[in-house]
Amino acid sequence: MPNFAVMLEDKNKSLTPLHTLGEFKLIDHLTQDIKIKHRSTLKGVGDDAAVLDFEDRLTVVSTDMLIEGVHFDLSYAPLKHLGYKAVVVNLSDIYAMNATATHITVSIAVSNRFSLEAVEELYEGIKLAAKTYGVDLIGGDTSSSTTGLLISVTALGEVEKDKQIYRNGAKPNDLLVVSGDLGGAYLGLQVLEREKQVFQVNPQNQPDLTPYSYLVGRQLKPEARKDIVDLLATLQVKPTSMIDISDGLSSEIIHLCTQSNVGCDLYENKIPLDPQVISTCEEFSIDSTTVALNGGEDYELLFTISQEDYPKIKANPNLTVIGYMKEEQAGMHLITRDETAIPLKAQGWKNFNT
Ligand code: ADP
Ligand code: MG
């Protein structure tokens, strides 16, 4: 749970300033207890480069960067959660290719505002995510920063030849399916921003986030849907296209449609929403469909399947059919509860707008 009073002040004399270690000791310190799990890891941390052997499988690579003040705010994101999230958002991209995540590299730039203990906390989260998802931490880079904290993670994965899934394989009449529920992470951020304002006015006021616990959890400690990739394999369903939802349902649907040259009808009444999303939208007077369409960071999987696979997924509570694909000329529409067709727009929640 966020604690607005916990900041990483060098005022606290028990903390170790980073300059007392230097870069090499810091790297050693952060990586000394890493244990390699994958046979494909021939060489991990410690040489000029890691060496991997994927034998006859395809290698999948993805990278993402998180920047303080742009992607996270340390006044409510605990460092351990931040480290966890930095890994998870990358793994989500690997799973969206229908691949198994196997390796990560982690690069950080830290200012001397941070203590050794703060960086350790960040790495606790990174290592917890690596353990949870069964990936080897095989390298990275460590640099100082004159301003904030920067974390860049590269994730690697493997997939059998012809099992990889792209964004461009959707066909007209395919069903559009989403895992989990949507809008929670965005609302979690709204709740945290609101409580931060309250806290700035009155620091004695510790927020009660209990009514929003699901939303705040979705924002601060998201999970990647490895389980869905495994589930689809078990059900013997191979999606025709797939993408992870990082920028909001609307823009991800548009990616699938434009890359696959198809159109789509998305049904408003089918969009899966958690009860806490619905009640909090009422409280904030915002429309829950707008939140699901344009809020970001849900890290659910969005994919299309051919109609004949429908019986295999229909009973599964983790998967919801939210629409179907059409011919390209039909366009991309939201079909509202009163059956009006509204063109889908990609608002996303790109940081460029802020
Ligand atoms: P180089 O000078 O060749 O870039 P470094 O001293 O930066 O080497 O890194 C030494 C080893 O430590 C390399 O294996 C590198 O991948 C690893 N490493 C450096 N920084 C990190 C980090 N933040 N997390 C994990 N591994 C790291
Ligand atoms: Mg280096």
DSSP string, 236-277: T---SEEEE-SS-HHHHHHHHHHHHTEEEEEEGGGS---HHH
Residue 169 has what DSSP assignment? Answer: -
Helix spans in 45-183 (H) = 79-95, 116-133
CB atoms within 10 A of CB 205: 12
Using DSSP, how many helices (H) and how many strands (E) does the chain show?
A: 10, 13
Residue nearest to atom 19 of ligand 1 (CA): 141
Q: How far from 87 is each of 53, 81, 126, 196, CA to CA, in Å?
A: 22, 10, 6, 25
Query: What pLDDT does residue 203 have?
Result: 82
Atom of ligand 1 nearest to the CA of 108: 23
Nearest ligand to residue 105 Cα: 1
Atom of ligand 1 nearest to the CA of 107: 23
Residue nearest to atom 6 of ligand 1 (CA): 24
Query: What pLDDT does residue 200 have?
Result: 84
Query: What pLDDT does residue 208 have?
Result: 84
Q: Is residue 45 in contact with ligand 1, taking CB distance under 6 Å?
A: yes
CA gap 178, 16 in Å, rounded: 46
CA gap 152, 105 in Å, rounded: 8
CA gap 185, 194 in Å, rounded: 14
Query: What pLDDT does residue 347 have?
Result: 73
Q: Is residue 140 in contact with ligand 1, taking CB distance under 6 Å?
A: yes
Going from the Cα of 277 to the center of ligand 1, the distance in angstroms, rounded, reads: 42
Going from the Cα of 142 to the center of ligand 1, the distance in angstroms, rounded, reads: 7
**Burial of 55 from C-beta contacts in 10 A (0-12 / 13-18 / 19+):** exposed
As beta bridge partners, residue 179 has 319
Going from the Cα of 167 to the center of ligand 2, the distance in angstroms, rounded, reads: 34
CB atoms within 10 A of CB 147: 11
Q: Please name the helix (run of DSSP H) or strand (run of DSSP E) that holds residue 153, with its range, or none.
A: strand 150-159
Q: Please name the helix (run of DSSP H) or strand (run of DSSP E) that holds residue 196, with its range, or none.
A: helix 184-201
Residue nearest to atom 16 of ligand 1 (CA): 139
Q: Which of 178, 187, 180 is nearest to 277 (CA)?
A: 187
As beta bridge partners, residue 63 has 154
Going from the Cα of 132 to the center of ligand 2, the distance in angstroms, rounded, reads: 26
Q: Is residue 69 in contact with ligand 1, taking CB distance under 6 Å?
A: no
Q: What 3-state DSSP class applies to 273?
A: coil
Query: What pLDDT does residue 349 have?
Result: 47
Give tens-digit pLDDT for 265-309.
999 999 999 999 999 999 999 999 999 999 999 999 999 999 999
Q: Is residue 162 in contact with ligand 1, taking CB distance under 6 Å?
A: no
Residue nearest to atom 8 of ligand 1 (CA): 48
| Residue to probe by mutation, ligand 1, list 28, 42, 45, 48, most atoms within 8 Å of CB | 45
Q: In sequence order, what DSSP letters do the residues of 215-230 get, joined into one string? A: HHHHHHS----HHHHH
Token pair of 30, please? 């952060």
Token pair of 35, please? 């244990």
Query: What pLDDT does residue 13 have?
Result: 59
What phi and psi values does residue 321 have, to the nearest 5 degrees?
-80, 120
CA gap 232, 316 in Å, rounded: 11
What phi and psi values does residue 266 have, to the nearest 5 degrees?
-110, 130
Contact 347, 248 (CB under 8 A): yes
Query: What pLDDT does residue 348 have?
Result: 52
Q: Is residue 108 in contact with ligand 1, taking CB distance under 6 Å?
A: yes
Q: Which of 266, 262, 276 is nearest to 333 (CA)?
A: 266
Give pLDDT < 70 ranges for the chain: 1-13, 348-354
Nearest ligand to residue 47 Cα: 1
